[in-house]
């Protein structure tokens, strides 16, 4: 997956999750490249998180789409950077 800001692109390793409500990307990368839209409450097993939502674009292969992206770091044992929802 590539995440795009104004002129920069960064390639990330992610998985396609057809059941995901949001796309995610590492928070530091989002903060560097994208504009914050709002804070979003995210429901996870065991509780909720309040995380920043960013406006950006996601590209997979030749397809690119503007999306809102949650800035969150995945657990290192998952060996992925992001989810494409």
Q: Which domain holds residue 47?
A: 2-84
Helices (H) and strands (E) in the chain, counts: 1, 8
The pLDDT of residue 40 is 92
Q: What is the CATH number of the domain that holds 49?
A: 2.40.70.10
CA 5 to chain centre: 12
Question: pLDDT tens digit string along 19-60?
Answer: 888 889 999 999 988 888 999 998 888 899 999 999 988 777
State the pTM of this model.
Answer: 0.78
Give how many domains the chain has, as a whole number: 1
Nearest to 39 by CA among 6, 18, 48: 48
Q: What is the pLDDT of residue 52?
A: 95
């Amino acid at each position: 997956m590539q995440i795009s800001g104004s002129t920069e692109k960064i390639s990330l390793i992610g998985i396609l999750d057809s059941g995901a409500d949001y796309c995610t990307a590492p928070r530091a990368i989002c903060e560097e490249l994208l504009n914050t839209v709002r804070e979003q409450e995210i429901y996870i097993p065991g509780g909720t998180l309040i995380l920043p939502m960013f406006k950006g674009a996601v590209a997979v292969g030749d397809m690119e789409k503007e999306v809102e992206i949650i800035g969150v770091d995945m657990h290192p044992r998952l060996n992925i950077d992001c989810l494409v929802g």
